[in-house]
Structure 1
Amino acid sequence: MEHEEEDLEEGLLDDENCSKEVEPRHEAEEQLLKKREVIEHEEHEEPEEPQSDWAFLPDVCLRQVFWWLCDRDRASAAPVCHHWHQVMRSPWLWRQRTFHFSGHISQRRYSELDKAVDYMRAYGGYLEHLEVFFGYPFSSSVSRRFQETMRTFLATLRKTGSSLRSLAILQMALDHSTWNRRVQNALVRSLTFYLLHGGSQLSFLNLSGAHFNLAQGLQVLEALAAAQQQSGRLPALITLNLNNFFAKKLAVYGTSDFAKVMCRFKRLSSLTLNYRCISDDLLQALASSCAGTKGKGSLHTFTVLCHVEEPHVQVISHDAWALLAQSCPSLKVDMSVDWILAPDRLRCILLGEIPLHALSLTSCFFRDFNWTVKPALANLIPLYRCCLQKLTLDINNVHETVDEELLEVVTVCSKLTYLKVWAFLDISFLDRLLRKCLDKQCALSTIRVQLYTNIHETRVANEMLVDVESRYRQLIDSQLNYCATYCPIN
């Protein structure tokens, strides 16, 4: 009996010990399960991505980056975030735009006209600087599409209310045979209407390569002048580029109407014209319109382009150039004369009263011995010894040497800092030229020389060139913008 009671007590003790051991096990298991649930929950949660450095870029930096993007990339970047979308709508990004109209019909429905018009509708109100390039009008259908594109394009631009400050419409080439008269006139009407109603704020206009006939060109200029005067403020137009504005064969100097319309532009600072437009009436009109007040004329840069295939036989008086130079004391004339090296013709073009800042003389016919450049170097260019700063020569002097005359020009023209010469010259010319620079006998700081030669193998000549340059290496490295090469001429 006693043994049974002892066994019973031991059993009860074992049960109590077992229950005490089971309770901690259950708690440990529950805690383990909870930890597993937490871990599984954290594994299923998406980790928070750290913010990119782009998110902290200031607006001014983002605008600089976005400015380099094309329209397609800008469209992709705009929806990235609210911040980028807001920055992408900044007017600064859309103030400047260039369009290329090829005239091709796109295989896609979205044509180049659609792109241009959509751009105008979305951002035309911000636009301040616009460039339009025309492709080559290889057929009448292409020229008609050009006209229709420009009509819609300019109408959309005008409706946006933008105030363009600069406009360039380049290479229309209206004298090409693919332009018929009706399409020409329609394009001129669209351009004239836009300039009349939207050209009051223009300070820069470039219509180079338009090739208008006389009536069309005068119509366009009249509309621009009227818009500038109707604005109620001083005329804003400062820069006017009319290179090849009129058709190539048109002798504009023979009419006074061009001078009359040019007289209406009162604040021109930079003007580009072809020599076929220059006349005494024009120079007098510019002297009057750009005279300014207190003896300070507004015209600072006058670029004149002359080509042998264009009308250039008019006689300009010395007094007309002198009057313009007197009315605009800070005037600098840059003149380019192509393929005209006959002394009698050059003498009529390069008058001593011209305040010539830069001169370019070029010849094309490498086997034409009927001209000589020596009179120009010896007699004409020295006329500008006190004002000429840039001289460019591309000449075929295979039948004559001009080394001495050219060195004399460099010495006499005390303000000549830029010299670019492509000609038949001896290697000793470079040696003597660099010696003058070293001895401070000339003011040159930029030298670009291409030595023409009839010898195809130039290894020995190049070694001589390197030898000359090595003797003046310190001068070249420290004071000159210098380059000299040999060019074989077959």
Structure 2
Amino acid sequence: MDVETGEGLDDQMNYRMVDQTGTRLDEKMDDQIDDRTDDRMDDHMWSNLPDTALIEIYLCLQDPERVNMSMTCKNWNRIFSSPCLWRTWYIELGGYNYISTGERICKFADGHGDHPKYLFLSYDHRRHHTCKIIQRTIDDFLDKIQNAKLVNFEFQNASFMFETLKENVVDSFARFFRGQTNMVDFNMERSHLSLTSGCRILHAIGSASGNTIRNLDIEDFFDSMLAMFQVKQFINALSKFTNLSFLALNYNCLSDDILECLTQNLAGKLKHISCRVCRTDPHFHRISSYSWKSLKSVCPKLSIDFWFESIGLSADIIRVLVPEAPLHEIYIDTRFDHNADWLQLSETIDHIAKHHKQITVLSVKLHNNHDSIDDSLVSMVTQCPALRVLFVRSVLKVSTIDEICTLQTEHKIDLQTFHVTTCGLTEMEYAELIYVSAKHLSVMQERGLNFEIRAVLGRQHL
């Protein structure tokens, strides 16, 4: 094995690259070494351990412990610089000690900037008066790792950075991404970028790694309220990704034109779409049945998840759940929709039962104080034979829960997980629910099923 290049080692080992100095070594590490060390073993034997053994020890340590280990002798310090130990970096930009933190990050990048393949960034800084210093840190850091061949890139809390540094930091990231040609996974969800900035970054990534990226997560990548499906720059940028297997985005980033683009570029490749439908995003357009059928015809393994947030009106949900869309998982959280008195949520459940019998997961958290879904829910579980996971939090009758459990014990449905929380029960209804739960518990346990039955008493509905 070549220690200097790390050939032959698993490059996907995940270890944190955080503060490289000033952190005390956990005393437990000394205790473990003392316990395993024979008193008769001298220092010479430790300093001449094989390189492979030393690397395995390093891989078991956190970074502060690695630093201390590297200061033991010249040989151990030599192994400390092996690229295979620094394939995965976890970097926190900003923070309380933003100046010293930035200096340490950039100094570390001086010696190891070519090594990372898996880069995970986070940002914790909201002080506007230090923007120029943070900007210089980012520019310097990205420049020092420009020659790295990233496979995975993930940025958490990116929205805080772009909110603080405005458009200045976009240039740095766009320039950096244009040099990355081997990425497979890219995640900048919840960045909340402007239209121009988001399209610039997405264009840079697509131009460089569009033919290698398989997993693209751009959920909440753009600011809310932007109808991105009408923006030509966005469609052009998305068309550069020709190898996607997984795509996460918002409904305001989908349209007939975009599905046509996916159909042309991702035939036989695209397997999963996760789509968030948020109340604050434009979601009143309807994607045609033809577009979904065309995409499904060229991507036969395609499955779709829809996540509805703060949307409860039946008409709004059904407009999105086109019968021809190959839905497998549906998540609905109505929260406190202002139209709560006339949501007609039973129509939503009936629509799912009629047009999406292939669903495997249904999770509903409903504010249905004035809308009974009991009959629709029972009908749905019997009409969807592929349903395996059911989460329900809503106003439900105890008899409905009993009926669903009975269908399960009689093998008329095949749920593997059933979590239900019924709201607004009286004390008498709660006592009845305890009886129902006890009646079915033993059978569920014998079959190894994941069943939970809970209740909220009184007028607390959610």
The number of aligned residues is 419
1:382 to 322, 331, 354: 354
Separation in structure 1 between the aligned mates of residue 58 and residue 446 of structure 2, nearest angstrom:
39
1:360-375 equivalences under 5 Å are 360-365=331-336, 368-375=340-347
SS in 2 for 1:475: helix
Corresponding residue for residue 194 of structure 1? 176
CA contact 1:100–1:134 (8 Å) conserved in 2: yes
1:484 to 453, 457, 461: 453
Aligned-partner residue type, residue 39 of structure 2: E
Say whether 1:49 aligns with 2:21.
no
SS in 1 for 2:276: strand
* Bigger mean CA offset, 445-454 vs 315-324: 445-454
> 1:382-407: per-residue Cα shift (whole Å, max 9, x none)?
3110x211111011222232222112
Corresponding residue for residue 120 of structure 1? 109
CA contact 1:388–1:415 (8 Å) conserved in 2: yes
SS in 2 for 1:111: helix
| Cα offset, 1:470, TM superposition | 4.4
Aligned-partner residue type, residue 354 of structure 2: P
Corresponding residue for residue 188 of structure 2? 207
CA contact 2:106–2:137 (8 Å) conserved in 1: no
1:416-455 equivalences under 5 Å are 416-453=387-424, 455=426
- Percent sequence identity is 22
Corresponding residue for residue 269 of structure 1? 245
1:151/1:317 Cα in 2 relative to 1: closer, same or farther (>3 Å)? same
CA contact 1:103–1:146 (8 Å) conserved in 2: no
SS in 1 for 2:332: strand
1:466/1:81 Cα in 2 relative to 1: closer, same or farther (>3 Å)? farther
CA contact 1:228–1:237 (8 Å) conserved in 2: yes
1:147 to 122, 135, 138: 135
Aligned-partner residue type, residue 116 of structure 2: L
Separation in structure 2 between the aligned mates of residue 308 and residue 474 of structure 1, nearest angstrom:
41
2:377 to 397, 406, 421: 406
Larger radius of gyration: 1
User: TM-score, length-normalised on structure 2?
Assistant: 0.82
Corresponding residue for residue 300 of structure 2? 329
Separation in structure 1 between the aligned mates of residue 344 and residue 386 of structure 2, nearest angstrom:
25
| Cα offset, 1:438, TM superposition | 1.8
Say whether 1:226 aligns with 2:195.
no
Aligned-partner residue type, residue 184 of structure 1: K
User: TM-score, length-normalised on structure 1?
Assistant: 0.78
* Bigger mean CA offset, 370-379 vs 95-104: 95-104
Corresponding residue for residue 97 of structure 1? 89
SS in 1 for 2:71: helix
Measured on the aligned residues, the alpha-carbon RMSD in Å equals: 2.9
1:480/1:103 Cα in 2 relative to 1: closer, same or farther (>3 Å)? same
* Bigger mean CA offset, 220-229 vs 258-267: 220-229
Structure with greater contact order relative to length (CA < 8 Å, sep ≥ 6): 2
| Cα offset, 1:344, TM superposition | 1.9
| Cα offset, 1:65, TM superposition | 5.4
Separation in structure 1 between the aligned mates of residue 39 and residue 283 of structure 2, nearest angstrom:
72
SS in 1 for 2:181: coil
Separation in structure 2 between the aligned mates of residue 465 and residue 69 of structure 1, nearest angstrom:
49
| Cα offset, 1:83, TM superposition | 6.2
Separation in structure 2 between the aligned mates of residue 320 and residue 154 of structure 1, nearest angstrom:
40
Aligned-partner residue type, residue 93 of structure 2: F
Which ranges of structure 1 fall in alignment gaps of 5 or more residues?
Answer: 1-47, 230-234, 292-296
Separation in structure 2 between the aligned mates of residue 433 and residue 268 of structure 1, nearest angstrom:
39
| The structure with more helix, counted as a fraction of residues | 1
Corresponding residue for residue 120 of structure 2? 131
CA contact 1:103–1:142 (8 Å) conserved in 2: no
Aligned-partner residue type, residue 448 of structure 2: Q
Separation in structure 2 between the aligned mates of residue 406 and residue 65 of structure 1, nearest angstrom:
55
Separation in structure 2 between the aligned mates of residue 406 and residue 57 of structure 1, nearest angstrom:
65
1:397/1:154 Cα in 2 relative to 1: closer, same or farther (>3 Å)? same
CA contact 2:444–2:450 (8 Å) conserved in 1: no
Say whether 1:468 aligns with 2:450.
no
Separation in structure 2 between the aligned mates of residue 381 and residue 71 of structure 1, nearest angstrom:
52
CA contact 2:271–2:303 (8 Å) conserved in 1: yes
Aligned-partner residue type, residue 274 of structure 1: N
CA contact 1:174–1:211 (8 Å) conserved in 2: no
1:231-310 equivalences under 5 Å are 235-291=211-267, 297-310=268-281
| Cα offset, 1:175, TM superposition | 9.7
1:60/1:424 Cα in 2 relative to 1: closer, same or farther (>3 Å)? farther
> 1:2-23: per-residue Cα shift (whole Å, max 9, x none)?
xxxxxxxxxxxxxxxxxxxxxx
> 1:285-328: per-residue Cα shift (whole Å, max 9, x none)?
0110001xxxxx10011110011111112232111111111111
SS in 2 for 1:126: coil
Aligned-partner residue type, residue 342 of structure 2: N
SS in 1 for 2:376: helix
1:111/1:440 Cα in 2 relative to 1: closer, same or farther (>3 Å)? same
1:92/1:420 Cα in 2 relative to 1: closer, same or farther (>3 Å)? farther
Say whether 1:166 aligns with 2:156.
no
Separation in structure 1 between the aligned mates of residue 245 and residue 290 of structure 2, nearest angstrom:
22
| Cα offset, 1:263, TM superposition | 1.4
